Structure 1
Amino acid sequence: MRRVLVAAVVALLALSGCSAKDVVKAPSADIDVATPDMVAMKAKSDIEPCPAPETKDGGLPAKTVRCLGGGRSVDLSTLKGPLVLNFWNSPCVECQKESPALAKFYRDYGRRIPVLGVDAVDGYPGIALRKAIGWGITYPIVADPLGDLQGTKLSVRGVPTFFFLHADGSLTAEAGGKKNEAQIVAMVEKQFGIQL
């Protein structure tokens, strides 16, 4: 029953063009985001391990999310800025268009501006991982398959959505849907007040 509800939420996002008025939080259940097949698939990819704790209170909610495809879980409150968080999911068409550009941004600028992907409200994490690898993503990805981050500072109304964690712990957001790396660079420069 829970998987049916998650599938319904995913279908709603897909049918709404990835910009649902509200992303509904599904009831708690366990969706495995690190099956043996997923762990093996990730091990053969260039996706980086999920980040280790960096601070005690970096400004993000004290919520722990699992690493997509296995690895250490991440308490988001232990991350510090500057950090770009990109919320996406596998059925989202706009995410499919944007992700290769974000992957290129990370290859070019990831040492200066880290990126963390968040596979959000996605009942099929194996498909999400396969797509991420196909899009050339190498930045770490965490999974929030049932929308546990909804109701926090990281609530999204649709995907793709960007959040920007600043060095002082403040958080800003901007809608996704960027088509190329230049648009992502311009957005990051504006959000962080920097020149890349």
Structure 2
Amino acid sequence: MRRVLAAAVLATVLAGCGTGTGAGAGTPGSGASAIPGADKLVACPPTESRPPVSNGLPDITLPCLGSGPDIRLADLRGPLVINVWAQWCPPCRDEAPYLAAVQKKAAGKLQMLGIDYVDTRPELAVKFALDRGLNYPHLVDREKLVRTPFKVGGPPVTVFVDKDGKFTLHNGAFTSQQQFEQSIKDRLGVSL
């Protein structure tokens, strides 16, 4: 169920990361259709298999929240913003409008990806993403697999991934659109 649910939203984020049939490519999950609204999420695309990068994204594969294949994080390259969130997290709710606004402005300049973190209510996660206009692919991490590499004490955590696959972190919620966009410019060299 979680495999399918996360697939839908990651498609938009990973569309710029390449396509292929490598380790990150899989078959669509079978449970998303059972989650109300999951079919409305952006589907996860297949990604090109790439070798892990030193100081890069962890070699962790996560299922999609909607439909599409599981995604291996180590295959991803930027410029990419990954936001670790949960529907039960008040600061995640506060910063969601900034994420949605950047996604609209970023077409062709920047990819976005969400990771629904330690969430036992996938139907509420889907509703959260749809209601807040988070129109990019989302993955699911129920087992806290990104906790150590992304230093997640609790969501939100934002991960900035450069073109070489190396990343930097921002822990906590962004408090303004300007702060978020300035972080993207400073860390990834992308102006919106």
* Shorter-chain TM-score above 0.5: yes
Residue 104 in structure 1 maps to residue 101 in structure 2: yes
**Among residues 84, 88, 108, which one is paired with 1:87 in the alignment?**
84
Secondary structure of the 1:84 match is strand
**Structure 2 CA distance for partners of 1:182 and 1:35, relative to 1, 3 Å:** same
Query: What RMSD, in angstroms, separates the aligned Cα atoms of the two structures?
Result: 2.1
1:127 and 2:124 aligned: yes
TM-score normalised according to structure 2 size: 0.76
Distance 1:120 1:138, change over 3 A: same
Letter in 1 for 2:138: I
Deviation at residue 84 of structure 1 after TM alignment: 0.5
Alpha carbons 2:100, 2:133 under 8 Å: kept: yes
Match of 2:112 in 1: 115
Report Cα offsets for 1:25-72 as digits up to 9, x if no partner: xxxxxxx9944332x5122x3x32224213513531111100002321
| CA spacing shift, 1:55–1:90, aligned 2, 3 Å | same
User: Are 1:61 and 2:58 an aligned pair?
Assistant: yes
Which ranges in structure 2 are unaligned for 5 or more consecutive residues?
1-28
Deviation at 1:181, TM superposition (A): 2.8
Q: Does the CA contact (< 8 Å) of 1:65 and 1:73 recur in 2? A: yes
Task: Show the counterpart of 2:142.
Answer: 145
TM-score normalised by structure 1 residue count: 0.74
Check if 1:186 corresponds to 2:185: no
Greater mean alpha carbon deviation, residues 186-195 or residues 110-119: 186-195
Give 1:150 shift.
2.6
Note the residue ranges of structure 1 that are not aligned, 5 or more in a row: 1-31
How many percent of aligned residue pairs carry the same amino acid?
Answer: 30
Equivalent position SS for 2:95 = helix
Instruction: Report what 1:48 is aligned to.
Output: 42
